[in-house]
Amino acid sequence: MSLAFTEQSLQPCNTLGLPARAQVARLEDEADLPSLCGLPGAPLFVLGGGSNVVMLPQPGHRVVQVALKGIRLWQETADYWLIEAAAGEPWHAFVAYCLQRGWPGLENLALIPGTVGAAPVQNIGAYGLELSECLHSVVAWDLYTGLETILPAAECGFGYRDSRFKRDGAGRWLITRVRFALPKQWVPRLAYPDLQRYVVDWGKATPTALQVFDAVCEIRRHKLPDPAMQGNAGSFFKNPVVDAEQAQALRRQFTDLRAYPQADGRVKLAAGWLIEQAGWKGRQLGPVGMHPRQALVLVNHGGACAADVMALVQTVQQAVADQFGVALEQEPVMLD
């Protein structure tokens, strides 16, 4: 079997709502994967939910939209439920499904847009949890060799909002299934500051995983715009990590600096706070701007294209660099 590429609009396929047209094929059956290997012509770009991408109007890639479906209890051990989900499953719906079946562990990652297959690429994280902490393995098709590969978590090269799937070359890996190890002896993750007020409400009782899920959803809905209502790609910049000496110097100058020590001795800074202090929270440049409730989120007020997005990105990066001497790196990848 082989996939047919046809020219299509990608505007409905990216949460920023940017206009783009490309040759697109929709992957719904793993039996079609061999036909993608060794294709001549334009390189391939693997697209999930389009929630972490900035698209140029006429990208020079052919796009494979992954729509593989299915969730199952793959294995069970004395300590873990091992859950396998197909790459095209919507991430938030998958988290909710696990909780409904009594498999906790992903609740802090609720309401993150995108698909299961895209989650390891970005090593998504929120509210004190990173995906890499609960991932067992990734089943991926190596488009360079035409072979299916199973990569244990230790071989995925995970870092902060990073993985080997981003670094090994665009168009190499097409993730088909992701496997998670969810603990039977579940312990809630409640250290993140935004969750602390819920801890007070819950009192001394240990909250259920569903209560944590509901709290995370409430926090995200309050702070972040719904992409279905206003185009955005979630948190647009990574929280920069600096050495301890630079962090100390910044604290002397900015006493309310939002900074979080890391295990390796470095310090992670809150990008949203830096952007707000640089004067860009709620400000607009042409048809795009930084959100008034969360300065980390770049929003499309309507009619924006990739050039508008990049103009704002460069302006915000320069403003933060001028004031703090810190370089901001964007999270979304470019489809160019």
What the block records as the tokens of 185 is 């002896």
Q: Are 244 and 254 in contact (CB under 8 A)?
A: no
Instruction: Give the integer Cα–Cα distance in Å for 154 and 163.
Output: 11
* Catalytic annotation present for 89: no
Q: Are 231 and 299 in contact (CB under 8 A)?
A: yes
Rounded (10°) CA dihedral 208, 209, 213, 218: 20
Q: Are 121 and 175 in contact (CB under 8 A)?
A: yes
The catalytic residue among 51, 132, 161, 177 is 161
The catalytic residue among 84, 89, 107, 331 is 331
- Count the helices and strands in the chain (H runs, E runs): 8, 20
* Catalytic annotation present for 252: no
Instruction: Give the integer Cα–Cα distance in Å for 111 and 91.
Output: 8
Q: Are 269 and 258 in contact (CB under 8 A)?
A: yes
Pick from 286, 276, 293: nearest CA to 312: 286
* Catalytic annotation present for 331: yes
Helical axes 209-223 vs 91-100, angle rounded to 10°: 160
E strands, the chain, where? 6-9, 21-27, 44-47, 53-55, 62-66, 71-76, 80-86, 125-126, 129-130, 135-142, 147-152, 173-183, 231-235, 241-242, 259-261, 267-269, 284-285, 288-290, 297-300, 333-335
* Cα angle, residue 198 at apex, residues 193 and 200 outer, rounded to 5°: 100
Catalytically active residues, by annotation:
161, 235, 331
